[in-house]
Amino acid sequence: MRWGAVVVAAGRGTRMGAPENKVFLPLAGRSVLEMTLEAFERCARAEAVVIAAAADEIGRVEALVRAAGFGKVRAVVAGGADRQASVKAGLEALETEGALVHDAARPLVTPERIEACCRAAEEHGAAALAVPVKDTIKVAEGGMIVGTPDRSTLLAVQTPQAFGRLELLEAHRLAKEAGASATDDAMLFERLGRKVAAVPGHETNLKITTPEDLLLAELILQRRREET
């Protein structure tokens, strides 16, 4: 199966408290977005990348891609009003049979985990990186705890997530028709009764959301450099 990736970079990241989109923030001498794109450049299974960017940042993203020489980036498209719309725009610009969807704010993903996600999707139809939760999770209503789910059944999902491109486009279409929203693409498959394979991810594949996440990412990258 030929694989391409939609890298979603259109969010603003208000929790970061930065004056600009967090994907442009520096990380180990490069931007968060550059670090993310580098992982896909190094992954043999991903042959094409489409970036979904904010409409007013397309020129900046295109300039970044040119300066860094990312040869797999085929297009930078305008994202939509929410994440679902941005992913859909990226999927429509891809031409590969398989589609990986990845948050640009997860710059520490490795080519090995991307490839593992592709293999699992080829075997099971769809796949997502995930890690077991470490904390005890509570269900609350009105500020009061009302239940405790079995932690052994819980996973914290990550990206990339991998699907057949046309199947995922159809899932997006049906969700839009139904007015259904989802926080990730696996949820769109789930609402259609489809199974999504859980592929072992890694705790280091964190999402840059707060300033503390940037500090942690720097430490992880430093450790990786020391280990090589």
CATH number of the domain at 166, please: 3.90.550.10
CB of 22 closer than 8 Å to CB of 207 = no
d(CA 18, CA 30): 17
Whose tokens are 């001498």? That residue is: 29
CB of 101 closer than 8 Å to CB of 183 = no
* Three-state DSSP state, 8: strand
What's the predicted TM-score (pTM) here?
0.96
Phi, psi for residue 150 in degrees, rounded to 5:
-65, 115
| 16 DSSP assignment | G
Task: State the alpha helices, DSSP H only, in the chain.
Answer: 32-41, 58-68, 83-93, 111-124, 165-178, 185-190, 211-227
pLDDT at 119: 98
pLDDT per residue as tens, the chain (228 positions)? 999 999 999 977 677 878 889 999 999 999 999 999 999 999 999 999 999 999 999 999 999 999 999 999 999 999 999 999 999 999 999 999 999 999 999 999 999 999 999 999 999 999 999 999 999 999 999 999 999 999 999 999 999 999 999 999 999 999 999 999 999 999 999 999 999 999 999 999 999 999 999 999 999 999 999 998
The tokens for 110 are 């490795």
Region of residue 193 (left: phi > 0; alpha: psi -120 to 50; beta: else): left
- Whether the upstream peptide bond of residue 160 has omega within 30° of 0, thus cis, is yes
Q: Which domain holds residue 162?
A: 3-227
| Domain count within the chain | 1
d(CA 179, CA 174): 9
pLDDT at 13: 67
